[in-house]
Amino acid sequence: MKFDDYHIAPEIKKSLTKLGFKRPTDIQFKSIPPILKGEDVLAIAQTGTGKTAAFAIPVISKIHESKYSKKSTGIKCIVMVPTRELALQITEVFQQIGHHSKVKSFCTFGGVEQGPQIEKLQEGIDILVTTPGRMFDLASQGYIKMNSVEFLILDEADHMLDLGFIKDIQDLIKYLPKKRQTLFFSATINETIKDLAYSLVTNAIRIQISPKDPVSKNIDHSVAFVEMDDKRFFLERLINENPEKKMLVFVRTKVRAERVNKALERVNIKSETIHGGKEQMDRLQVLNQFRKGDTRILIATDVSARGIDIANVDYVVNYDLPEQAENYVHRVGRTGRGTSRGNAVSFCSTEERPTLKEIETYLTKPIKVLTIDNNDYEATIDLSVESEKNTDWRSLIQEEEDRLSKVKKKKKKQM
């Protein structure tokens, strides 16, 4: 089936053609028809399967067509997401798909001045993509009115629960019209999510893609048993052995992210970090550099990189194994997207072995072990240590040359 065969607005089809969308992915094929019919949908699909377009295409089409048939103002759709980066990314998808339509999409999020966001809201929008905190702030000030909302979309719902947004979701429901269409999208599902989902939807169509294999078949998985203090040496080796590859490196905390960044800097490997401790504008700048390929190595925490769609990530490196098995799925989903192949390499220390077993149980299959013999292990460390020494030696020489240069200039002035 092609997008041309769907009963969606011609303006949407025009945008899809320009974007190169010809045939729907599995999640799009199963989600678009019931959404167009006005059904509530509960959809579970792995990362990288085209979930955003699965709800954006039918929702934009329905809002666009309703603007022709009736005069109505106000926000028609609220898309609630867990992070600022995801809000921007989803808004971009809505704007691209709705480019030739009458539908206006906009996003609000915290960490930046609210003035420009208020101005845009006052101009009038149809679709609001938002994080909970900023949405409630602006709603309490009277800038966001929800009485005309016809669609509620919760994306990355599992992650929203991890971040403790369940009360925000429940509070939001109180402000929305009872007669609305609710779409609930998530990459993983557990009993808590299931209970929340069914409390929000009415006779929902349940869609689950690849339930037996939660990760893309396009990803090659491997694990190397490396002790915690030695991981930086093996990351350096992996980077040097793949000089042209784009890598997304996951660590558990923002402190770890900065430490790994400094360790790479000492051996002349340029990298950037993205985590909750950075200013919003800095995070956006780093993401853009990584997207464009100006930065090849990005070190991230789970929260900062969740749901981010970055093309052509060759490797996802689990420098630290995630605390929850489900997060392994979200991490490795940053590579092997669409028809591209990807690699997921994990470093597992002795204390992390129980976590590895949990991940393998969740995946329902073992991860291939990269065998490293003792000689190779020691050689990797020795080579890196030597590299660090050489870097320090060159730095000391440069410092001494700079000092001598300053002394000479000072003497000339005195003469």
Radius of gyration of the chain, Cα coordinates, nearest whole angstrom = 24
pLDDT at site 363: 86
Q: Cβ distance 108 to 131 under 8 Å? A: yes
pLDDT at site 79: 96
Reported as half-sphere exposure (CB side, CA atoms, 13 A), residue 90 has a value of 32
Q: Walk along the chain (415 residues) in steps of 10 and give the mean pLDDT of each run.
A: 89 93 91 95 81 95 83 88 87 95 93 91 94 90 93 85 78 88 85 81 84 68 95 95 94 93 93 87 87 92 70 92 86 79 94 95 90 91 67 48 62 51
Name 344's Cβ contacts closer than 8 Å, sequence gap at least 6.
219, 220, 221, 222, 315, 316, 318, 331, 332, 335, 336
CA dihedral (332, 334, 340, 342) positive or negative:
negative
Alpha helices (H) along 80-179: 84-97, 115-123, 132-140, 157-162, 166-175
Q: What is d(CA 388, CA 394) in angstroms, rounded to the nearest whole number?
A: 10
Domain boundaries for CATH 3.40.50.300 within the chain = 3-208, 219-372
N- to C-terminal Cα distance for the chain?
85
Evaluate if pTM is beyond 0.85.
no
Among candidate residues 195, 131, 198, 185, the one with its CA nearest the CA of residue 158: 185
How big is the chain, counted in residues? Answer: 415
Structure tokens at 298: 């990005």
Alpha carbon 247 to its chain centroid, in Å, reads 14
pLDDT at site 203: 86
pLDDT at site 394: 47
SS3 state at 297: strand
CATH fold for the domain made of 219-372: Rossmann fold (3.40.50)
Specify the DSSP class assigned to residue 32. H
CATH dotted code for 3-208: 3.40.50.300
Q: What is d(CA 415, CA 412) in angstroms, rounded to the nearest whole number?
A: 5
pLDDT at site 407: 58
pLDDT at site 397: 42
Helix (H) or strand (E) run with residue 148 in it: none
